[in-house]
Chain A
Amino acid sequence: QSVLTQPPSVSGAPGQRVTISCTGSSSNIGADFDVHWYQQLPGTAPKLLIYGNSHRPSGVPDRFSGSKSGTSASLAITGLQAEDEADYYCQSYDNSLSGVVFGGGTKLTVL
């Protein structure tokens, strides 16, 4: 059971918009710790997609966006493309555990 809760899977057709939620608590996201998002393509290492809740590293398309409110965060992907099919993870810090925490991951399927 992960500290941060994500839906196991989401899907969408090419060109559509999908969102992935990440629900935490008052000891992590709700304690004002930043949320970061990662994309993991099959057989590869994770890649930072969003940092500091809503910032994109250089090279990440603006189709990807992040937001945070209260004890939750969301990753939105617009203009869905076949190459977006991957696992997505949220990450934050938990002050009760005194450690970094990841969500369980969400598998995105492009129909």
Chain B
Amino acid sequence: EVQLVESGGGLVQPGRSLRLSCAASEFTFDAYAMHWVRQAPGKGLEWVSGITWNSGSVGYADSVKGRFTISRDNAKNSLYLQLNSLRAEDTALYYCAKARGASYDQSGLDYWGQGTLVTVSS
């Protein structure tokens, strides 16, 4: 069974940084695009970022562009999200999700992790 396990969340002060990781297993990681999706407490889903199978193309929501950086290491079956200049409004549960295809634009997200909570507060 496909497994996605996020880590790296926690309590952080505004303006500081955090790096999230997602460990993937039981599928051919380097064949699929990957995404980060977040959900603020009591709110809906918000796409954060996506990356193609070979890191050739990445995309970001306007709300995080210039502050967050997505990356992947196919040799380690791992996805990452570097969060810089964090704001209170970045507080959310961050999900790692696998795309059904190699690009991140057309495919649905067929497997999701359980999420890692990021809380930005002084």
Contact = CB atoms under 8 A, between A and B. Distances in A.
Contact of A34 (B61, B108, B114): B108
Given A89-B45, A99-B47, A100-B35, A48 B62 contact: no
Given A2-B44, A33-B105, A46-B45, A98 B110 contact: no
Contact of A45 (B47, B105, B113): B113
Contacts of B47: 91, 99-102
Interface of B: 35, 37, 44-47, 50, 59-62, 95, 97, 100, 104-115
Contacts of B107: 51
- Chain A interface main SS type: strand
A64 to B, nearest CB: 14
Contacts of B115: 45
Nearest to B99: A100
Contacts of A102: 37, 44-47
B108 A36 contact: yes
B45 A33 contact: no
Most-contacted residue by chain B among A33, A51, A99 (CB, 10 A): A99
Nearest to A36: B108
Contacts of B108: 34, 36, 48, 50-52, 91
